């Protein structure tokens, strides 16, 4: 049992940019890197272990070998690996979309739904995203606005700043805007219903598919409720801020200014995503030197470890 640095599978969606390669050290043979899946056991892209005894092994293979105990008592309660963590570089606008809840997704798609959280790692001046509706509308108006291309007149467009947090419960209409770089912590699902795509076409020259009927069944046609901000807590070597917590995941921001002593106990695995700066992670005799963009999985029960450095990290548990 040791801290495992992960190699992220990357996606080259048409709206992506190059910052994940240039600033976060991600590698891909594609020109664009829209997303890097930093902690993933999803069939559409699985993280790979980079170091130690299990180097080269897919994270799913390691979990099959090690058993559910490494997920912790809370993690083992899920029927599948509970979370998917991404870095997302939106050079252009993402489509306006919605995710179903568990009940609908399991019944219709055969996988769980998606509740997620966005942390704004960086953004260009004036960047905006879509977060729910400006006011409550009817299902008939929703369909009509999609049909006549006036949907953007009814949504809530929010200016964003570095460090902002958005909690996107299943059923919330949303879209990342151009010029935003996000860390996304979400349920382990890849089910998305697209309702507006700015008239773009895919690599095949055809408009990308919309999923209007399904979206109309699952979308909450009302303003989204902001997640309440939590006050920072000071610890030796770091400041801790709760970003969001729900039944699927808990994410905290760690602002490092020394040696942060942490504990991957029996309740949950830990995942560290370094979004700024550099740090040295030490657990027993194992040491990892981490730079911006590093992703580390720490099995539940590993015990105490130290993250020593300057910068910012997101710690995710279940």
Query: Could you tell me if 73 and 190 are in contact, meaning their C-beta atoms sit under 8 angstroms apart?
Result: no
- Residue 19 makes CB contacts below 8 A (sequence gap 6+) with 89, 91, 181
Closest CA to 85 of 154, 187, 157, 230: 187
Residue 125, φ and ψ in degrees, nearest 5: -55, 135
CB hemisphere CA count around 13 (13 angstroms): 17
Farthest-apart Cα atoms in the chain, separation: 62
CA–CA separation, 39 and 140 (whole Å):
39
Catalytic hit among 48, 145, 194, 253 = 194
CA–CA separation, 171 and 150 (whole Å):
20
194 flagged as catalytic: yes
Q: What is the dihedral sign for C-alpha 299, 302, 303, 304?
A: negative
- Residue 47 makes CB contacts below 8 A (sequence gap 6+) with 6, 7, 8, 9, 37, 38, 39, 40, 41, 58, 59, 295, 297
Residue 105, φ and ψ in degrees, nearest 5: -65, -40
Residues classed as catalytic: 194
């Amino acid at each position: 049992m040791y801290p495992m640095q992960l190699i992220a599978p990357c996606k080259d969606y048409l709206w992506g940019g190059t910052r994940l390669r240039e600033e976060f050290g991600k590698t891909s043979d594609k020109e664009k890197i829209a997303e890097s899946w930093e902690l993933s056991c999803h069939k559409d892209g699985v993280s790979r272990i980079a170091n130690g005894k299990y180097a080269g092994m897919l994270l799913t293979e390691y979990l099959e070998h090690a058993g559910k105990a490494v997920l912790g008592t809370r993690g083992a309660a899920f029927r599948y690996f509970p979370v998917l963590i991404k870095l997302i570089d939106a050079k252009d606008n993402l489509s306006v979309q919605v995710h179903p809840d568990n009940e609908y997704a399991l019944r219709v798609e055969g996988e769980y739904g998606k509740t997620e959280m966005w942390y704004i790692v960086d953004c260009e001046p004036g960047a905006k995203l879509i977060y729910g509706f400006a006011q409550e509308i009817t299902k008939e108006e929703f369909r009509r606005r999609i049909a006549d291309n006036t949907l953007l007149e009814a949504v809530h467009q929010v200016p964003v700043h570095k460090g902002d947090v958005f909690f996107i419960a299943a059923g919330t209409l949303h879209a990342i805007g151009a010029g935003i770089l996000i860390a996304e912590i979400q349920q382990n699902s890849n089910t998305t219903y697209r309702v507006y795509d700015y008239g773009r076409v895919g690599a095949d020259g055809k408009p990308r598919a919309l999923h209007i009927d399904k979206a109309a069944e699952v979308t909450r046609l009302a303003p989204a409720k902001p997640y309440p901000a939590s006050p920072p807590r000071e610890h030796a070597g770091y400041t801790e801020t709760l970003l969001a917590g729900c039944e699927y995941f808990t994410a905290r921001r760690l602002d490092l200014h020394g040696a942060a002593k942490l504990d991957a106990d029996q309740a949950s695995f830990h995942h560290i995503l370094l979004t700024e700066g550099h740090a040295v992670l030490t657990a027993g005799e194992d040491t990892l030197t981490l730079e911006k963009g590093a992703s580390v999985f720490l099995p539940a029960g590993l015990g105490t470890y130290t993250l020593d450095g300057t910068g910012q990290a997101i710690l995710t548990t279940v």
